[in-house]
């Protein structure tokens, strides 16, 4: 399975306009991040945030077979405006897979877009281009239905969970026992003391513990926000913990 990271930022791109923190001032190209999205086997796009049009142009991707959506937060769907089939030839006949709740939001925001609607159900696998895709519901922010995807091709298994606070049930931890886990890396540590603020993301340090407990063979943190160290420092910190990596825009993975 080929995985290309087209974007790796959290809800807001990095650098953040007007911010003078270390990562926002970094001159390293790997610290310049657009909204999180990946392309699987050159054909299946996961999420379509506000930057998607320029991400597709940047990586010269003029053909995709389908789009699958994790949830309806703006950083994962607002780029669909640019992918309206009436205006974008690449999108002719391209199905968009989302949960019923995600589609309820899309129908409201893009009422006349002419998208090809496909609805998946939690824990019900579906097939796309010889990949078996299982949507796994996860805890994220309040009032938003979010899934991660457990994707199988032959013996290779990928987990893609860019917005993740926890599993709905203990037994779902098995979905992290994969060849490659791409996981929420919004912050290094929880930005608020537990219980004082609502925050829909696991921290990188918690993610390392959970991925280790669940025996993920390799974990790549994405959805990276500016409450993390710059790329080189973060990569160094992760390298010391084992098979842990920081994603960057343009990263290629193969499992
Ligand atoms: Zn997000
Ligand atoms: Zn910043
Ligand atoms: Zn979200």
Say if CB 101 and CB 69 are below 8 A apart: no
Q: How far is the CA of 23 from the centre of ligand 2 (A)?
A: 6
pLDDT value of residue 198: 75
Strand partners, 246: 221
Say if CB 133 and CB 70 are below 8 A apart: no
Q: Would the pTM count as exceeding 0.85?
A: yes
**Tens digits of pLDDT across the chain (255 residues):** 999 999 999 999 999 999 999 999 999 999 999 999 999 999 999 999 999 999 999 999 999 999 999 999 999 999 999 999 988 888 888 999 999 999 999 999 999 899 999 999 999 999 999 999 999 999 999 889 999 999 999 999 999 999 999 999 999 999 999 999 999 999 999 877 766 667 899 999 999 999 999 999 999 999 999 999 999 999 999 999 999 999 999 999 999
Nearest listed ligand to the Cα of residue 140: 3
3-state secondary structure the chain: CEEEEEECECCCCECCCCCCCHHHHCCCHHHCECECEEEECCCEEECCCCCHHHHHHHCCCCCCCEEECCCCCHHHHHHHHHHCCCCCHHHCCCEEEECHHHHHHHHHHCCCCCCEEEECCCCCCEEECCEEEEEEEEECCCCCCEEEEEEEECCEEEEEECCCCEECCHHHHHHHCCCEEEEECCECCCCCCCCCCCCCCCCHHHHHHHHHHCCCCCEEEECECCECCCHHHHHHHHHCCCCEEECCCCCEEEC
Q: How far is the CA of 71 from the centre of ligand 1 (A)?
A: 8
Looking at domain 2-12+20-254, its CATH superfamily turns out to be: Ribonuclease Z/Hydroxyacylglutathione hydrolase-like (3.60.15.10)
Nearest listed ligand to the Cα of residue 184: 1
Q: How far is the CA of 31 from the centre of ligand 3 (A)?
A: 21
Q: How far apart are CA 230 and CA 96, in angstroms?
A: 34
Say if CB 200 and CB 163 are below 8 A apart: yes
Q: How far apart are CA 29 and CA 131, in angstroms?
A: 32
Q: How far is the CA of 25 from the centre of ligand 2 (A)?
A: 7
Q: How far is the CA of 193 from the centre of ligand 3 (A)?
A: 20
Strand partners, 128: 131
Q: How far apart are CA 140 and CA 179, in angstroms?
A: 23
Nearest listed ligand to the Cα of residue 9: 1
Q: How far is the CA of 21 from the centre of ligand 2 (A)?
A: 4
Q: How far is the CA of 114 from the centre of ligand 3 (A)?
A: 25
């Amino acid at each position: 399975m080929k995985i290309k990271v087209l974007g790796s930022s959290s809800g807001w791109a990095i650098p953040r306009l007007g911010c003078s923190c270390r990562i926002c001032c970094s001159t390293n190209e790997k610290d310049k991040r657009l909204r999180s999205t990946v392309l699987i086997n050159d054909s299946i796009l996961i999420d379509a945030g506000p930057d998607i049009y320029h991400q597709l142009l940047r990586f010269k991707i003029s053909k995709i077979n389908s789009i699958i959506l994790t949830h309806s937060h703006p950083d994962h769907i607002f780029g669909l405006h640019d992918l309206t089939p009436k205006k974008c030839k690449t999108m002719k006949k391209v199905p968009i897979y989302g949960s019923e709740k995600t589609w309820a939001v899309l129908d409201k925001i893009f009422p006349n877009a002419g998208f090809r609607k496909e609805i998946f159900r939690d824990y019900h696998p579906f097939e796309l281009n010889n990949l078996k895709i299982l949507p796994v519901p996860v805890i994220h922010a309040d009032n938003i239905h979010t899934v991660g995807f457990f994707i199988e091709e032959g013996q290779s298994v990928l987990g893609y969970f860019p917005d993740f606070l926890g599993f709905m049930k203990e037994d779902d931890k098995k979905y992290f026992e994969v060849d490659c886990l791409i996981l929420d890396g919004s912050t290094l540590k929880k930005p608020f003391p537990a219980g004082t603020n609502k925050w829909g993301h696991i921290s990188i340090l918690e993610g390392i513990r959970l991925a280790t407990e669940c025996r993920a063979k390799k974990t790549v943190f994405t959805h990276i926000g500016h409450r993390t160290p710059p790329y080189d420092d973060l990569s160094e910190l992760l390298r010391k913990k084992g098979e842990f990596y920081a994603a960057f825009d343009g990263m290629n993975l193969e499992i």
